[in-house]
Amino acid sequence: MIQKLVAEGLGTAMLLIAVIGSGIMGQTLSDGNTAIALLGNAIATCCMLYVIITVLGPISGAHFNPAVTLAFFLRGQINARSAWGYVILQIVGGILGVWATHLMFDLPVLQSSTTMHRTGPAQWWSEILATCGLLFVIFGGLRSRPETVPTLVALYITGAYWFTASTSFANPAVTIARGFSDTFAGIFPGHIAAFIIAQLLAVGFSHIGLKALLKQP
């Protein structure tokens, strides 16, 4: 179990390093072109997702996301004690990943995001759709071709950066961690709770829908 928890914390930390670091680099090099910065952010996140799911998946299942862990719990594929452990390590790992990235770019370690545009019904609905889509990709992939899940998740998130209004956080641990970074990928702490509620609602919707669609218990 310790090995699994370490894998979840490490994987989530690496994910946030990719998200925050590529956001900083993209914003620095894009000369004010937000589209170019977002493209770099999406590609780097895609690459990291493929790597950490492939390498750490055999150890912990590669959740790196409390919404995914909750979905597995609702399906009876992880017990409550393990699920709580996963969620705690995902959140802690995510925050540590943000701080590590700040050190790498010679920024103040302790920050709070001032990014104010990630709120409102359109953003919340976007997070519901983004999270439902992510769970569809994961559980649909596990049912049909498990070996393709790293690629499927990486491709989905890359696309979802662009076709969702919120740029597809779809992850409570990532959402919390991004509140600790006043950079391109940040989210104002006061807007975090609504994002997480939307993500958790999506888990409930997906549990019902995927159970019927995929004909799995």
List the CATH number of the domain containing 68.
1.20.1080.10
pLDDT digits 0-9 by tens, 71-115: 999 999 999 999 999 999 999 999 999 999 999 999 999 999 999
Number of domains the chain contains: 1
Alpha helices in the chain (DSSP H): 2-29, 34-60, 66-74, 80-104, 121-144, 149-163, 172-178, 192-213
Residue 217: band (very low, low, confident or very high) from pLDDT cuts 50, 70, 90: very low
Q: To the nearest whole percent, how much of the chain has pLDDT over 90?
A: 94
Confidence bin at 216 (pLDDT 50/70/90): low
Q: Please report whether residue 117 resides in a domain.
A: yes
Asked, for residue 72, whether it belongs to a domain, the answer is yes
217 assigned to some structural domain: no
Domain that holds residue 118: 2-212
172 lies in a domain? Answer: yes
Q: Burial code of 27-45, b = ≥16 C-beta within 10 A, e = fewer?
A: beebeeeeeebbbbbbbbb
SS3 161: helix
The pLDDT-based confidence of 211 (bands split at 50, 70, 90) is confident
Torsion angle of the four alpha carbons 197, 202, 203, 207, in this order, in degrees rounded to the nearest 10: 150
State pLDDT tens for residues 104-122.
Answer: 999 999 999 999 899 999 9
Distance CA 130, CA 76 (A): 23
* Angle, helices 80-104/66-74, rounded to nearest 10 degrees: 170
What pTM does this model have? 0.95
* Residue pLDDT, tens place only, 123-163: 999 999 999 999 999 999 999 999 999 999 999 999 999 99
CA 189/CA 58 separation, integer angstroms: 34
